[in-house]
Each structure stands twice: as structure tokens, then as C-alpha cells.
């Protein structure tokens, strides 16, 4: 079996902080130059490449002389702002040797949650690729309000893959790939070369629900592969220290772990619903409603909802749970949390009598709902 990158025309490459900064010791110019060389070779052969790079905080700490990673959000943001300068300068100089232009693109989840900004970001990235420019993407750590966490750029990489409908996502890490157990603790751990993205067993194995075993931070990468698969993108998790890893993968070599995307892919707007919006509440469904959503492609009616939680407004995203508490869908709700609480278990014909008005007969219309 050949590499999943063999026929990929558009590729998102995510490089981890430990690789970019040589385990936090400062930007690794040799490694960055090597990736630039490989991406230039891919470009020469007609591939389009987007680079998602971590490393701004670590580089900022190095420049500021900080030995320990700060915990205060404002200090993390300051480090990111300082480090981003060096990160972009390094990439710009390395790609310039190959007469390639680069573009800095800083994104937040808010950018992708707003439909208009999401479409603008997609248009910009596609235009840059058409111009043979290499977009260098990072999370805009200087303005995010949540704590900056390791692994965030795995998620960002998958969302970018969805955004531009890439053929493949390559996550370069300091491990050889995905193992059956943590190889640092279990000598019997074996490398998983091929699997299906979204397989629940992978999440359990990597420290997800139902598992007490973690495999060296691989869970975020497995979840990223699951997200990327929604737009049809395959994912490869491989070592960034492997010689010519990107070129060899593109030539067909099977390196690291290849997570195949299922044949069916989710429509672009429903990918946005599934991954780019924040869940504001939860609706628990009875068995009949859960079946109607999953098996029959129906809209969600208030009569099938048994419980509501959260504080959401009309038009916000809510999760739909089956009677066992498993999330089976997400969608844009037509009524507020308070209103939903008043009409749950009621027929659509009773909405006007209860609320004094009726906006829609459905709690969530099937056009605004995506199955998970």
C-alpha cells in the first residue's frame, strides 16, 4: 500500500513546537531550512502546501531569556508576540532561497466560527495558493482569551484542512507515529501504519474515553485526523526528524501512521457546523428522536427532547445527545434555552400556545444539523 500523499494535490503540513525550536532551545534553522527545501520540491511538482507552525511562545521565551514557561495568560501572549517575529523571519529567509514567497496568517477560533470571516479566510488562502505563495499559519496567541495549550495547532491544522478542502494533513511530531501504547513506557508497543480516521478504538487507545493509558500526546492528533476526515482529507502522523519525510511520503513511501478518511465526506457548511462553532448547550433526546436524526435524516422536533442544559440564544450551536448521553449530532437551534425548556416534550402544534408565537415548527431543521 502506498502513502496517502501519493495523489494529494493540496497538503496541510503541521510542524510541532518541539521540532521547530529544537526542544525549546531556540529556532532550529537547520530543520526549518530542510522543511522549506522539501516543500519547495513539492511545489515544483505541482503540489500546493499550507504550513501550520507552532513555536512562537517557545521562541519568545528564548528571546526574553525566560527559563520557565509562564502560566499567566498575558505573559504567554507577550512571549507569543515576541516569538512570532523570529518565527516568520526564519521561514521567510528559508523559503526565499528557493525564490518562494510566504504569507503570515494568524487565526483564532472566533475567525472560523463567524461564517463571513470563515469564507473570507478560505478565499484568501485559496488565492495565496493559486499565486504559489506558502501560507504560514499560526493561532493568534496574542489575542486569545483561553489558556494557550500545547496541541492547539493539531486542531488548527485539521480546521485549515477543512477550510481549504485539502487532500491530506501531515502532522510532523517528535514521535515516529501512532503506537498501540506509549513506547516510552511499554516495550511491546507497535507502530500503527494504517487505520481509519475517526475509529473510536484509536481514541480509547490514545487516552480518550474508556482508557487509562495515554500515548505521548497523540490524542489531539487522532482527533485532528477525525476532523480532517470530514472534508475528505487523509492524515499522516510522522516524525519531523525523518530524512526528507515530506518528499518521500509524496513519492509513495509509507512513513509513520496513515489514517484514512472514509469515502463519504461532509458538505462544507456542515463541516463548519461540526467543528468551527462553540457548543452553547445540550439537548437530550428520546430514543425515537435519536433514531429519526441518525437513520431517517429528519429534523429535530421539540416533542423528542427530554432535557435541556446550557444558556443559549436562538441560532447558536447545541449538541444533541442520545438517551445514553452520547453526542450524535450538532445543530443551530431555533429557540432560546428558556423557550426550549418550555416546549420540550410538546408537539410543534403547541408551540404558539405555550410561547405566544411560533418561529419554526422544528427545534433544529435538518439543513442546520450535522450528524457526528
Q: What is the pLDDT of residues 250-267, one digit of tens each?
A: 999 999 999 999 866 666
To the nearest 10 degrees (0 to 180), the angle between helices 56-64 and 73-96 is 100
The pLDDT > 90 percentage for the chain reads: 50
Q: What is the pLDDT of residues 308-342, one digit of tens each?
A: 999 998 888 899 999 999 999 998 888 999 999 99
Distances (CA, A) of 180 to 61, 195, 201, 216, 221: 34, 11, 10, 11, 14
Cβ neighbours of residue 265 under 8 Å, at least 6 residues apart?
Answer: 229, 230, 231, 232
Instruction: Output the average pLDDT for the chain.
Output: 86
Residue 246, pLDDT score: 96
- Across the range 303-310, mean pLDDT stands at 94
- Across the range 89-100, mean pLDDT stands at 96
DSSP assignments along 156-180, one per residue: HHHHHHHHHT-SEEEEEESSSS-BS
Instruction: Tell whether the model's pLDDT for residue 95 goes beyond 90.
Output: yes
DSSP H/E element including 327? strand 327-332
More confidently predicted of 180 and 92: 92
Q: Which residue has the cell 457526528?
A: 372
To the nearest 10 degrees (0 to 180), the angle between helices 152-164 and 268-275 is 160
Residue 168, pLDDT score: 95
User: Which residue ranges form the domains of the chain, and what is each CATH number?
Assistant: 10-270 (3.40.1160.10), 278-371 (2.30.130.10)
- Across the range 195-217, mean pLDDT stands at 64
Closest CA to 257 of 167, 170, 162, 165: 170
Closest CA to 284 of 316, 314, 310, 315: 310
Residue 266, pLDDT score: 64
Q: What is the pLDDT of residues 29-68, one digit of tens each?
A: 999 999 999 999 999 999 999 999 988 888 899 899 998 8
Instruction: Tell whether the model's pLDDT for residue 211 goes beyond 70.
Output: no
pTM score:
0.76
Q: Are 307 and 367 in contact (CB under 8 A)?
A: no
Q: What is the pLDDT of residues 225-255, one digit of tens each?
A: 998 988 889 999 999 999 999 999 999 999 9
The grid coordinates listed for 361 are 415548527
Rounded Cα distance, 164 and 167, in Å: 9
Least confident stretch, 248-262, 275-289, 339-353: 275-289
Amino acid at each position: 500500500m502506498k502513502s496517502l500523499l501519493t495523489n494529494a494535490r493540496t497538503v496541510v503540513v503541521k510542524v510541532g513546537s518541539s521540532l521547530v525550536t529544537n526542544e525549546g532551545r531556540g529556532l532550529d534553522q537547520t530543520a526549518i531550512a530542510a522543511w522549506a527545501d522539501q516543500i519547495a520540491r513539492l511545489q515544483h511538482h505541482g503540489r500546493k502546501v499550507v504550513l501550520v507552525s507552532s513555536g512562537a511562545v517557545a521562541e519568545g521565551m528564548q528571546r526574553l531569556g525566560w527559563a520557565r514557561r509562564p502560566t499567566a495568560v498575558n505573559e504567554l501572549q507577550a512571549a507569543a508576540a515576541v516569538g512570532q517575529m523570529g518565527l516568520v523571519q526564519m521561514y521567510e529567509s528559508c523559503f526565499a532561497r528557493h525564490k518562494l514567497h510566504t504569507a503570515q496568517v494568524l487565526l483564532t477560533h472566533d475567525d472560523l466560527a463567524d461564517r463571513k470571516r470563515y469564507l473570507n479566510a478560505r478565499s484568501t488562502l485559496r488565492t495565496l495558493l493559486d499565486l504559489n505563495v506558502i501560507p504560514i499559519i499560526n493561532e493568534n496567541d496574542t489575542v486569545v482569551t483561553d489558556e494557550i495549550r500545547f496541541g492547539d495547532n493539531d486542531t488548527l491544522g485539521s480546521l485549515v484542512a477543512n477550510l481549504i478542502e485539502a487532500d491530506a494533513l501531515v502532522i510532523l511530531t517528535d514521535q515516529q507515529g501512532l503506537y498501540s501504547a506509549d513506547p516510552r513506557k511499554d516495550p511491546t508497543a507497535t507502530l500503527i501504519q494504517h487505520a481509519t480516521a475517526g475509529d473510536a478504538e484509536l481514541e480509547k487507545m490514545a487516552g480518550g474515553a474508556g482508557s487509562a493509558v495515554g500515548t505521548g500526546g497523540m490524542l489531539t492528533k487522532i482527533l485532528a485526523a477525525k476532523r480532517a476526515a470530514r472534508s475528505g482529507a487523509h492524515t499522516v502522523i510522522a516524525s519531523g526528524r525523518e530524512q526528507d519525510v515530506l518528499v518521500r511520503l509524496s513519492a509513495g513511501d509509507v512513513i509513520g501512521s496513515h489514517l484514512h478518511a472514509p469515502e463519504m465526506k461532509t458538505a462544507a457548511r456542515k463541516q463548519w457546523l461540526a467543528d468551527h462553532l462553540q457548543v452553547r448547550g445540550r439537548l437530550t433526546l428520546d430514543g425515537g428522536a435519536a433514531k429519526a436524526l441518525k437513520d431517517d435524516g429528519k429534523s429535530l422536533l421539540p416533542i423528542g427532547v427530554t432535557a435541556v442544559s446550557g444558556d443559549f440564544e436562538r441560532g447558536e450551536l447545541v449538541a444533541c445527545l442520545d438517551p445514553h448521553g452520547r453526542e450524535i449530532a450538532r445543530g443551530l437551534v431555533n429557540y432560546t434555552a428558556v423557550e426550549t425548556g418550555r416546549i420540550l416534550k410538546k408537539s410543534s402544534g403547541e408551540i404558539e400556545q405555550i410561547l405566544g408565537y411560533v418561529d419554526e415548527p422544528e427545534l433544529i431543521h435538518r439543513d442546520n444539523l450535522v450528524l457526528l
